[in-house]
Structure 1
């Protein structure tokens, strides 16, 4: 009902003007003999041409309004106003040229020549305005955006397209603020359209957590928080969390999720921030804060090559973790640095050996060559891992080949380095024999990492005898 009323109101004035002109033209032609005797035949013919021209212009106006009411307004997506105005201007210009040529016998060549000179002068004076005009025409033909699309025309400046005019595009931000952008700017600079192509698009939320939070735990908490926001649980578009940087204040996480539309972005970001803070609070974790370390003494060297680094690694191991700090430093001081280029083996399977290695830098691959069959890869060693302890403590040949995948730095501990400690601490042999027995049992069960010690160690006495024989220690069982 409202649409019908609006259409009738828009057609009223063109139809009324057309009727008035028709009646006036009929009266003029009916009274033409009387008017010719009163004002002269030339003036009567001029009035007739003017009335006829007005009638044709009224018909053109009515045609433009009919197109607006019956065609343009009934499309699913309204055409930009610039296109409809251009079409209306084309109709009116065509009618005006026909009137000039047919009724007033004006040569079109002269009109076009004169208008060409005028256009050149005006074009030079209004070049910026004309650039926006033609940019608007190009944008409407290319249609990189439509009415209702959300555009980011500048960083952090986003608005919904409300109207595409002759010279400018008008947008409204989410705060209800109008934004007018020249068409020339949109045609010559990049902008982001959040609605083309149609469908959900991915947004990001950045969270910085401390280094004490492990990557697996941080990812688990962030994804659990995202799972509680129903609006971002879009089919085939699952949220994910990725580490983007390890900065001075902590680990920077990027929580990526999909939103159905830009209009919902602010509310979704609020919900997701609240969910992340809630889950971090429940987990006893807070976002990392800016920190400043103050020392009243010279800063210690923070280098891998520092002499205290090997003894820290040895202190974390189950082999030497029970040794007093002075003994650990002594053992670390005797250790030799060994550099292994990429592709070179650190040890070979079957070779004799009497030393073990601690990985400080690089990655190494562990492989074995069975009696029958091809070489088989077992695992990799990374910084902090140790290998060769069986050869160090028992003198057994190397049980596998360890090859450097990248240039690596190792610390080698030999029999001569460990001998003084074994002599000073006889109980160390018993502890080491138990650890070797546990590791041997794990290997037999197919596990590459030590598991919980079994209640009854396997072959512990055998390892203890072999360690004592290899290092020449007395047997105190008698």
Structure 2
């Protein structure tokens, strides 16, 4: 293993090493000073004096002025600019020392420098190419360590283009080290990156749209399929104003191409969302009996129907405090649904008109949160947990209000959905149950630990329910 000398050498050893260095320099200066009768010793002492003075001067200038200025500058790699400045100072000091101590004519140096530069340039063409490409990359500040980038181009001096995705680890004068999602480190010479197309997957804000295309067999209720996919993809963590969407993109292989779109915070979040989108898409299409189309034809959907347990509808009515004699009529209109882990059942802000009850599995009421661990991205923050026997969505069923929260399946779930169409006739025939419906909304407020509602709020609910069901 390589050892990092900055941490392997203790502070005590550093101080001792500098002390010995200063002692050796002082002893050398003393010895040379005692030999004042010899001109060569005097010249050597002067040379050592100017060398040490130039070195200490550059170090003091770097420590006192250069480092503080560059550390406060918003640049990709301040150390790179610092190294260039320090290198220039050392070259300038070396030229002046040759003139001062060695008596070398600067004109002669400049005259022969062109020939020497040509020879050095030809022999170090690769190195100089990386150096100037590195200067260009750092001045552009197109990316910096920590950013995920996508590099497209002729990366290995072979025929054709290829694409590489990874996180920038370090940027030096010669190369850029990129860490892949597999934990491997790839080193790209600067000139390769300078000639390639680089897409910064984090800049400017890290929020970027990702897409996924799937080809399905044409079928009648395409609008319903698109709506079901959009609903399910709501399980991808997203901002309320950046909801996932599904559009009919084009035609291919005799089928319809659906494009799934969502917004991701950073590349790794987009990658994780892509995996979830593929799984949810396959689950929803298979559940709805929609075949996928590919080079070998259409797939065969397989779905096991849900069986409503005996006495489930009376149990639902009993739990929400409604007359048990509604069971026979409601049984005809209720919808049995499944939800896969990570699938959204309802999304905050969407219109709604149904109530859900959990028969099996667990769900969570969530809101989006931005985090950096285990990677930069959007995550669901759990607000409440829903277990078998719990219900949700009554606000939209009873008042027609938009969904107030997002509910995502945590485990495989089976749900009973009670839509307004199945509920409305019973309410119109028994308008006296309106008070019970308001009690249902108040009980939900208490279960969600909300503040008690004032009497005016109850009257407002009564008016909304009567208007919604046309009572």
Question: How does the TM-score come out when normalised to structure 1?
Answer: 0.52
| Aligned mate of 1:42, from 29, 39, 43 | 39
> Contact between 1:280 and 1:286, CA under 8 Å: does it hold in 2?
yes
Q: Which residue of 2 aligns with 1:96?
A: 94
CA drift of 1:133 comes to 1.7
Change (3 A) 1:85 1:136: same
Q: Residues 167 and 178 of structure 2 are in contact (CA less than 8 Å); yes or no, is this contact kept in structure 1?
A: yes
Q: Deviations over 1:222-275 (max 9, x none)?
A: 211211222xx2243232222222112521111011000112222221222222
Per the alignment, do residues 90 and 213 of structure 1 end up closer, same or farther by CA in structure 2, a change over 3 Å counting?
Answer: farther
Distance of 2:70 and 2:81 partners within structure 1: 10
Distance change in 2, residues 1:136/1:76 (3 Å): closer
Q: Which runs of 5+ in 2 are unaligned?
A: 1-5, 153-161, 299-471
Counterpart in 2 of 1:276? 281
How many pairs does the alignment contain?
283
Q: Which secondary structure state, in structure 1, belongs to the residue aligned with residue 91 of structure 2?
A: helix
Rounded Cα–Cα distance in structure 2 between residues aligned with 1:131 and 1:113? 25
User: What pairs up with 1:84-123 in 2 under 5 angstroms?
Assistant: 84-123=82-121
1:125 Cα deviation from its structure 2 partner: 3.3
* Structure 1 position 20, deviation (Å): 3.3
SS of the counterpart of 1:191? strand
Instruction: Tell me, in whole angstroms, the C-alpha distance in 2 between the residues paired with 1:171 and 1:52.
Output: 44
2:177 aligned residue? 170
Aligned residue number for residue 388 of structure 1: none
SS of the residue aligned with 1:278? Answer: helix
Pair 64,43 (structure 1): closer, same or farther in 2 beyond 3 Å: same
CA deviations on 1:267-314 (whole Å, 9 max, x unpaired) are 221222222233233333343344569xxxxxxxxxxxxxxxxxxxxx
Structure 1: where are the runs of 5+ without partners?
34-39, 294-478
Change (3 A) 1:179 1:5: closer
The offset of 1:97, in angstroms, is: 2.1
* CA distance in structure 2 between the aligned counterparts of 1:13 and 1:90, rounded to whole angstroms: 30
Change (3 A) 1:292 1:44: closer
| C-alpha contact 1:64 1:88 (8 A) present in aligned 2 | no
More strand by share: 2
Establish whether residue 19 from structure 1 lines up as the match of residue 34 from structure 2. Answer: no
Q: Distance in 2 between matches of 1:49 and 1:164?
A: 40
Q: Give 1:124's aligned residue.
A: 122
C-alpha distance in 2, partners of 1:98/1:13?
Answer: 32
For each residue in 1:314-353, what CA deviation from the matched residue of structure 2 results, as whole angstroms up to 9, or x when unmatched? xxxxxxxxxxxxxxxxxxxxxxxxxxxxxxxxxxxxxxxx
Please tell me whether residue 55 in structure 1 is matched to residue 62 in structure 2.
no
Distance 2:8 2:222 in 1: 65
User: Are the aligned partners of 2:76 and 2:138 in contact in 1 as well (CA < 8 Å)?
Assistant: no
How far 1:211 sits from its partner (Å)?
Answer: 0.7
Q: 1:75–1:239: structure 2 CA closer, same or farther, 3 Å change rule?
A: same
Q: Tell whether 2:195 aligns with 1:198.
A: no
* Gap change, CA 1:292 and 1:199, over 3 Å in 2: closer
Query: What secondary structure is seen at the aligned counterpart in 2 of 1:244?
Result: strand
Query: 1:340 maps to what in 2?
Result: none
| 1:29-62 C-alpha deviation (Å, 9 max, x unpaired) | 54234xxxxxx61221232033214413541563
- 2:230 aligns with 223
- RMSD of equivalent CA atoms: 3.4
Partners of 1:178 and 1:272 in 2: how far apart?
A: 28
Note closer, same or farther for the CA distance 1:292–1:166 as it changes in structure 2 (3 Å cut): closer
SS of residue in 2 equivalent to 1:148 = coil
Highest relative contact order (Cα 8 Å, sep 6+), 1 or 2? Answer: 2
Aligned to 1:238: 243
Contact residue 60 and residue 92 of structure 1 kept, 8 A = no
Counterpart residue number, 1:185? 192
**Range with greater deviation from structure 2 (100-109 or 11-20):** 11-20
| Kept in 2: contact 1:151–1:159 (CA 8 A) | yes
Provide the residue aligned with 1:370 in structure 2.
none
Deviation sequence 1:139-193 (CA, Å, 0-9, x none): 2112221122212112441111122222322211111222222222222332211
CA drift of 1:77 comes to 6.6
Pair 1:216–1:275, CA change in 2 (3 A): same
CA distance in 2, matches of 1:4, 1:290: 58
Comparing 199-208 with 234-243, which one deviates more in the overlay?
234-243
Which of the two has higher C-alpha Rg?
1
Is the contact between residue 43 and residue 101 of structure 2 (CA under 8 Å) also seen in structure 1?
no
Corresponding residue number in structure 2 for 1:444: none
Q: Which runs of 4+ in 1 moved over 6 A?
A: 3-7, 73-78
3-state SS in 2 of match to 1:204? strand
Q: 2:141 aligns with which of 143, 161, 183?
A: 143
Q: Note the 1:274-353 alignment, pairs <5 A.
A: 274-291=279-296
